[in-house]
Amino acid sequence: MDIDQVVPAESAELRAAFDVDDHGASALGWEAVHAFEAEHGIVLPEPYRTFVAEITDGSYAGPPAYGLLPLAELPADWGEDPGKRDPGKPFPLTTAWMWEEDTDPAEDMEETLERVHHHGTIVLGTDGCAMNWHLVVAGPQRGHVWLITDVGAAPFGEGFGFGSTTTEPGFAGWVRHWAAGRPWFDDE
């Protein structure tokens, strides 16, 4: 997983997965991507960065179930104060955490939950029912995709034991998994 360099084959694969053939008309463009990055003090991980700049900024086609959101947009049912979001602050987790099952929660659990939901990520989209897919843009998990729900958070991809343990992590691996028609929670 290379999150700092464009891999042309991945860009072509992403374009095909989303069936984008509008010569970049639905893309955000580099100027807008650079403005977003400067505003938040981040550099988006590749291949997502090139994807929104040159291919498309959101899509009604999945993933996830309700489509890929444009950069910086939130699901319609977000419900929380969007002003709390700060993509430039590090995402706090490095391993899955099911807070609903946590029998010995830390004293600062509410503060940590706020950071999980609001720091270091952009929301890729939702599968509904408070199941939101996030791309980590700041912190040790930069470049990884996480499913954050109302009961817990878990990283997606090989080596994490969530979803398909044979799927490459990161945005391209997440899209590849969806494009292959595989269910999110298969551990085959």
Token code pair at residue 45 = 């991980």
Nearest to 19 by CA among 78, 67, 65: 67
Average pLDDT over residues 54-79: 88
Token code pair at residue 181 = 């028609």
Per-residue pLDDT for 185 more than 70? Answer: no
Per-residue pLDDT for 23 more than 70? Answer: no
pTM higher than 0.85 for the full model? yes
How far from 85 is each of 35, 56, 72, 74, 121, CA to CA, in Å? Answer: 17, 23, 10, 10, 8
Q: What residue type is assigned to position 62 of the chain?
A: G
pLDDT digits (tens, 9 = 90+) for 98-107: 887 776 666 6
pLDDT digits (tens, 9 = 90+) for 136-151: 999 999 999 999 998 9
Identify the pLDDT of residue 63: 84
Per-residue pLDDT for 21 more than 90? Answer: no
Average pLDDT over residues 13-25: 77
* Angle CA 50–138–15, to nearest 5: 20
Q: Hey, which of 19-33, 70-84, 169-183 has the most confident mean pLDDT?
A: 169-183
Tell how strand 132-136 and strand 153-155 pair up. Answer: unpaired
pLDDT digits (tens, 9 = 90+) for 25-36: 689 999 999 999
Neighbours of 102 (CB within 10 A): 11
Average pLDDT over residues 115-124: 95
Q: Return the domain boundaries, the chain.
A: 8-179
DSSP at 88: T
Which range (26-35, 41-50, 53-62, 129-138) has the least confidence? 53-62
> Is residue 170 within 8 Å of 144, Cβ to Cβ?
yes
